[in-house]
Structure 1
Amino acid sequence: MADIEDVLETAQREIKAIGDNVAKLKDSMEKDLAVVRKLAEDAPKNVIGSSEFKKDMEAITAGVLEKHDALAKQVKAIEEKALKDAQDRMDQLEKKFNRGRLGGGGDVETELKDARDFTRIGMAARGELKVGVPFNEEKVDVASFDAYKSALPMYLRRDKDGQGVDMKAMSVGSDPEGGYFVTPAMGRMITGVVFETSPMRDICNVETISTDSIEYPRDDDEASAGWVGEQEDRPETGAPKAGMQRIPVHEMYAMPKVSQKLLEDASFDIENYLGRKIGDKFGRVEATGFVSGNGVKKPRGFLTYASGTYVAGSSGKLEQVAAGTGGNVGWDDFINTMTALKEYYLSGANWLMQRATVGKAMLLKDGSGKYIWQPNQQAGKPGILLGYEVRQAADMDAVGASKLPVAFGNFKMGYTIVDRIGMSTLRDPFSAKPFVLFYTRKRVGGDVTNFEAIKILAT
């Protein structure tokens, strides 16, 4: 509202200035015309026809016309300036209005948010996002993003030299490391498929960064505390042993292929097809890394850590609860695994096991012969075991000798997934003719960040 009031106030000032100038020039012109009339009335008839009188009249008339022309030019200049200033201010207001709507609901708001996210992706790739430097909303160019969004499907169908590809628009989303960034909408589609494929992103902590790794202090101990009287000395308490944990991101790629003939079909939704194919492949690859990855060029999986009870001031081991019967799981094993987790972590805890293990758990009965498995009352939601949801993960071990088939814990607190902002794709029509390959890559990492928050059942 304040900006609108400023525009109106500026316009009012300009109008007043025009009015003041017009009034002054009008008064001057009226005085000159009065002089002319006075001279004409007072002059003798024999003088009116003289050449000298004519010269005087022409001079006065010329002066009046000059002031009239000056008035017209001044009015025109003021009008043009007022219109330009008003237009500039309205453009600024429109930009602020659009940016103010970012993050809201509806198609317009989604598009504006996508434009903002897309701008951040490009800046991160070029190293322009700096710590302590606020994101400049003026860099968000919705028109350029719309042009890129319209040009990307054409690029996916044809190579960069193909007819109809607006390479000027495509330059907005050019990845410095090769290829072009996928739009935020396509990125959400890929991530959505990842969620459907693997539960890890749904139950773990997920961080998005613009660098090659995330580093933060990790307290492996707790600061001591105590009671003290109002006037007693405050002795120094023990300090926690803090260390740094670094989680790097690793490059993950997918390269689905599409026939050239299918790409030439106008009704074929190339973005939707690629989004689902890439999301499915990414989901399977990264899920394996989060569960059993060795940390070399891939995330570190939580099943790869050695067995050991957590000790204050140390880390690197996850407690493994031994099953009562080797190579099998029983009712007591689930109880022992659940009770091994501190109460602090129980809120938000989940079971994690593969589908075959879920089947075995569903067949378990208590001492009264009743099944202990409880179906979730909400359609499409996971089943309940001992009051906690059971999530299926195909990468967990099958039940057997010396296996780790079941995990239980608060994965939001225990495991962190790190995404490098942005995904890019490169069209390759040459390597697998008559197919076109789409080399798509993203960078992701993951590691255990709290060794108390996850317990493993070992058979």
Structure 2
Amino acid sequence: MMTGHVQGSGAVAPEVKAVPETVTAALDEFMEAFEAFKDVNDRRLGEIEQKLTADVVTRDKVDRINRAMDDQKRVLDQLALKKARPPLGGRSGYGQSAELSPEAMEHKAGFDAYIRRGEDSGLRELEAKAFSVGVGADGGYLVPPETDTEIGRRVSVVSPMRALSTVRTVSTSVLKKPFSTTGLTTGWVAETAARPQTNTPLLAELAFPTMELYAMPAATQALLEDAAVDMEAWIAGEVDIVFAEQEGDAFVRGDGVNKPKGFLAYTAVADASWAWGSLGYIATGVAGGWKATNPSDTLIEVIYALKAGHRQNGTFMMNRKVQADIRKFKDVDGNYLWRPPASAGQAASLMGFPIAEAEEMPDIAASSTSLAFGDFRSGYLVVDRAGVRILRDPYSAKPYVLFYTTKRVGGGVQNFEAIKLVRFAVS
């Protein structure tokens, strides 16, 4: 996508060229851009040391290369995602490469007939045999399990929160998780000694209700009649990106009203005053920005705000703009704290911890919590209700056929000490 050329000042600046067609080519160009970024940023820092300010041209060049790196990373992510999508169903997917049971083959054939022609007799009989609630009168039919699994897998690739969090599949509308507010009573005792009586545990309950997430792709009758088109792959491809975008936003900043509750929607308090039910934060000391000197101290503080058990599984989460700021940080030896991904498909790292890019994270502003660090596997729970349902609607948008596709998803913080935030404020 980009290459470098030498300008009069000796700096390497990006030059736009054709979009790379392979993941390897995209990664190579991303690494070239990072080297150019380091050269120009080193010059900017040298100008600040000598003249207490950086040249406007140099600052603009740093910002321009920074944006170019973001664009290249976006292309790299898209190519990696495309590579991660294997053929699905039909002639080129699990229909050939894997043995399906007679029941699965029957479900697949019935689903195909329903999607293409609206014939639901096969699905009705199958789901009646299975005592399924997913009948037409209840809002559609269940997609084949292979398609359901593939939609979930693709959404995990796109959504960083789903990929990082614990995911539970349930058959009810609410998952309830009890926990002890006072902790479990433990102690040492001799083998034959009497066991002292323990206090009665005080239990509370976290509830994670599932909410309905929907998408409504449309198809022409010509598409439905084309036997060469794999309809299951088409359905999965149409809904996975929009599902991932909606989920990703809800898991980060959802208010919990008809959607999951995002971790940023919980009360945030200074980490020194942290208590269960809220998330602790470390303040940068500057409203809407980093400290002028040693800004990376805030990152060290938030890392060590986590207990060791969570810290070893820690991941930074931020959007691209915040990451662009952090790319400029150096340690006392002049080494950059941000490191590019070691290979295609892997995450960049910061101070040895991986970075998850979530565009739903807010930009830096006064009192914003624009950066999070935590063990999201322990800290956040995603709840999926089993089954993705489809309702065929050939009437509402004639001559197009709509496919009302729904799944039920919930989510919320399950361990409040496993996630810490950085607040861009004085305190």
User: 1:335 aligned to 270, 278, 300, which one?
Assistant: 300
How far apart, CA to CA, are the structure 1 residues paired with 2:191 and 2:112?
A: 71
User: 2:336 aligned to 359, 362, 371, which one?
Assistant: 371
* Cα drift, residue 225 of structure 1: 3.9
Conservation of the 8 A alpha-carbon contact between 2:174 and 2:210: yes
Per-residue CA distance 1:190-223 (angstroms, 9 max, x = gap): 1122112211111101111111111121123323
How far apart, CA to CA, are the structure 2 residues paired with 1:182 and 1:188?
A: 10
1:442 maps onto 2:381 in alignment: no
SS in 2 for 1:432: coil
1:147 maps onto 2:106 in alignment: yes
1:201 maps onto 2:158 in alignment: no
* Cα drift, residue 376 of structure 1: 3.4
SS in 1 for 2:312: coil
* Cα drift, residue 272 of structure 1: 1.1
How does 1:46-445 map onto structure 2 within 5 Å?
111=99, 142-160=101-119, 167-168=121-122, 171-173=125-127, 175-176=134-135, 177-227=138-188, 235-238=196-199, 240-308=201-269, 315-329=276-290, 330-445=295-410
Per-residue CA distance 1:77-113 (angstroms, 9 max, x = gap): xxxxxxxxxxxxxxxxxxxxxxxxxxxxx9899555x
Per-residue CA distance 1:7-39 (angstroms, 9 max, x = gap): xxxxxxxxxxxxxxxxxxxxxxxxxxxxxxxxx
Instruction: Give the direction of change, closer, same or farther, for the CA distance of 1:324–1:369 in structure 2 (3 Å limit).
Output: farther
Conservation of the 8 A alpha-carbon contact between 1:223 and 1:238: no
Conservation of the 8 A alpha-carbon contact between 2:317 and 2:358: yes
Instruction: Give the direction of change, closer, same or farther, for the CA distance of 1:377–1:436 in structure 2 (3 Å limit).
Output: same
Task: State the partner residue of 2:90.
Answer: none
Counterpart AA for 1:341? L
Conservation of the 8 A alpha-carbon contact between 1:144 and 1:169: no
How far apart, CA to CA, are the structure 2 residues paired with 1:144 and 1:229?
A: 57
Instruction: Give the direction of change, closer, same or farther, for the CA distance of 1:430–1:390 in structure 2 (3 Å limit).
Output: same
How does 1:446-457 map onto structure 2 within 5 Å?
446-457=411-422
* Cα drift, residue 362 of structure 1: 1.7
Conservation of the 8 A alpha-carbon contact between 2:147 and 2:236: yes
Conservation of the 8 A alpha-carbon contact between 2:314 and 2:376: yes
* Cα drift, residue 413 of structure 1: 0.8
Please say which of residues 331-340 and 226-235 is displaced more in the overlay: 226-235
SS in 2 for 1:275: helix
Conservation of the 8 A alpha-carbon contact between 2:314 and 2:373: yes
Aligned residue-pair number: 320
CA RMSD of aligned residues (A): 2.6
Identity of aligned residues (%): 37
How far apart, CA to CA, are the structure 2 residues paired with 1:286 and 1:439?
A: 17
* Cα drift, residue 382 of structure 1: 0.4
How far apart, CA to CA, are the structure 2 residues paired with 1:374 and 1:314?
A: 34
Conservation of the 8 A alpha-carbon contact between 2:271 and 2:305: no
Structure exhibiting the larger radius of gyration computed from Cα positions? 1
Counterpart AA for 1:269? D
* Cα drift, residue 356 of structure 1: 1.8
Instruction: Give the direction of change, closer, same or farther, for the CA distance of 1:341–1:240 in structure 2 (3 Å limit).
Output: farther
How far apart, CA to CA, are the structure 1 residues paired with 2:217 and 2:324?
A: 34
* Cα drift, residue 267 of structure 1: 2.2
* Cα drift, residue 265 of structure 1: 2.5
Counterpart AA for 1:157? R
Counterpart AA for 2:408? R
Counterpart AA for 2:104? F
SS in 2 for 1:251: strand
* Cα drift, residue 239 of structure 1: 5.3
How far apart, CA to CA, are the structure 1 residues paired with 2:110 and 2:149?
A: 19
Conservation of the 8 A alpha-carbon contact between 1:152 and 1:170: no
Counterpart AA for 2:244? G
TM-score, normalised via structure 2 length: 0.69
SS in 1 for 2:289: coil
SS in 2 for 1:172: helix
How far apart, CA to CA, are the structure 2 residues paired with 1:416 and 1:326?
A: 31
How far apart, CA to CA, are the structure 2 residues paired with 1:426 and 1:228?
A: 61
* Cα drift, residue 379 of structure 1: 3.0
How far apart, CA to CA, are the structure 2 residues paired with 1:446 and 1:310?
A: 23
Counterpart AA for 1:274? I
Q: Which has the higher helix share?
A: 1
Counterpart AA for 1:421? A
SS in 1 for 2:408: strand
Which structure has more relative contact order (CA 8 Å, sep 6+)? It is 2
TM-score, normalised via structure 1 length: 0.64
**Where in structure 1 do 4 or more consecutive aligned residues deviate above 6 Å?**
106-109, 229-233, 310-313
Conservation of the 8 A alpha-carbon contact between 1:309 and 1:317: no
Task: State the partner residue of 2:61.
Answer: none
SS in 2 for 1:363: coil
* Cα drift, residue 313 of structure 1: 11
Instruction: Give the direction of change, closer, same or farther, for the CA distance of 1:347–1:221 in structure 2 (3 Å limit).
Output: farther
